[in-house]
Amino acid sequence: MSMNVTTNVYRNFINGEWQESKSAEQITVINPADTSTPVGRIQSSTAADLEAAVEAADAARKEWRSLSGAARGDFLYRAAAILEERAEEIAETATKEMGKTLPEARGETQRGIAILKFYAGEGMRKTGDVIPSTDASAFMYTTRVPLGVVGVIAPWNFPVAIPIWKMAPALVYGNTVVFKPASETAITAIKIIECFEAAGFPKGVINLVTGAGSVIGKGLAEHPKVQGITFTGSNNVGKGIGLTALERGAKYQLEMGGKNPVIIAADADIEQAVDATISGAFRSTGQKCTATSRVIVEASIYDAFREKLIEKTKDITIGNSLEQEVWLGPIASEAQLQNCLHYIQTGIEEGAKLILGGEQLTDGDYEKGFYVQPTIFEDVTTDMVIAQEEIFGPVIALIKVDSEEQAIDVANDVKFGLSASIFTKNIGRFLQFAEEMEAGLIRVNAESAGVELQAPFGGMKQSSSHSREQGEAAKEFFTSIKTVFVKG
């Protein structure tokens, strides 16, 4: 087992074994809903621990890639079945570690199960094409081959779904994996890896090392035996990983920030638009890369939309979802809370009008957690910091515009381009939006957050490295094309 029952310390998984770090140092994982009850402790691993994991993955890759795609898929099917058996425990752990409500954590865990099943099936799909040759006596075809060892660096906000949508395609396409989870949600990650262990994956195919990003994440990006790096997280860290990988010729995939708009057109169903805006902005306490951050409303319906938005936002219940039924949980960490409060104060100082929320909750049941009210600003101009920078908290900026053309211009006036949505009944308007919006994910009459697992996911501009995750598109990153020419 990964946990020492007495001390509640979780270990690394290297070469098929649970191991303590070569360092005696540990990291305490706290519960953001109640900081007086730590979730457990993880290893603060060293470069030597990472080296052992990479060597194990490198040693295992030849045998793993020699299996058929169908055989590799069978391992994923087994992992999915075990994850399904342990779904409630994993969902509760995710809620304890990062604060999202238990229903959301359950939904995310079910998403992880579905992703495993999807990629298990991908093991039976074709890996190449026959290409006509100009030489009538020759046969030419392409096939796809794995990269080798892949480093997976995952964030804390989706501790089940994101690691799985990276590891599952990496594995089914024949790569071996070294996984570095975010320290805030490393125990959830460990419980996922326990499912892979129980599924019988060969030693070295999957490895997990916890610890500081400056040691383990940086080490993965720099390691000469790691042929690919897939990362989701902040722009600053992502750019550093990309540059490091580029310098040594490794393949890299970066999914980073967003400043996602929703446009409320004059003909929108206001009730539908308000419900989706609240869900997109405030679910998971706004801690989604696709969360709604800017709400761009045509002037003719601005007042009606604003009134309904405030009314429904006031009904949001906040608290610890493991103790009571609530709509909104805490922010994931003290650092993230302070970051959110900083942006709220910045908005006030810039001259935006705070019309709802904006305060940390500290009384009574909130005293031990990182709680902040859902926050709405208006009179926001596009040059304000709160209209340009990712906040990653339950904060939205209302921006009034005079036309759909102005709405699209405002929506595109940021450095990010991850997701965007529009509410309209006009076919021509949403087709124009889909054509002109500079974002990788376009949603019509739906919230900005969320994409189905079989569809490609990724951003434009500074939101990504322009590769795509999920669906069949994942094989573009996790494999290389090999062309074979056979002369008779």
In 3D, which of 181, 421, 393, 147 has the Cα closest to residue 289?
A: 393
Contact 297, 306 (CB under 8 A): yes
In angstroms and rounded to an integer, the radius of gyration of the C-alpha atoms of the chain is 23
In 3D, which of 94, 455, 418, 388 has the Cα closest to residue 254?
A: 418
Report CA 232 to chain centroid distance, whole Å: 6
What does 240-258 look like in DSSP terms, one character per residue?
Answer: HHHHHHHHTT-EEEEE---
The residues near 302 (Cβ < 8 Å, ≥ 6 apart) are: 398, 400
Question: Catalytic residues, which ones?
Answer: 255
Edge-first strand order for the sheet with 130-131 is 130-131, 138-146, 479-487
In 357-447, the DSSP E strands lie at: 360-361, 371-372, 375-378, 395-401, 416-417, 419-423, 441-444
**How far is Cα 179 from Cα 111, in angstroms, rounded to an integer?**
19
Instruction: Give buried/exposed letters for 354-389 (b at 16+ CB in 10 A, else e).
Output: bbbbbebbeeeebebbbbbbbbbbbebeeebebbbb
**Residue whose entry in the numeric block shows the structure tokens 């990504």:** 464
The residues near 138 (Cβ < 8 Å, ≥ 6 apart) are: 485, 486, 487, 488
Q: Half-sphere exposure (CA, 13 Å, Cβ side) for 265?
A: 19
**How far is Cα 236 from Cα 234, in angstroms, rounded to an integer?**
6
**How far is Cα 338 from Cα 349, in angstroms, rounded to an integer?**
16
CB atoms within 10 A of CB 188: 31
Task: Please tell me the total number of residues recorded for the chain in this structure.
Answer: 488
Q: What is the largest CA-CA distance in the chain?
A: 81
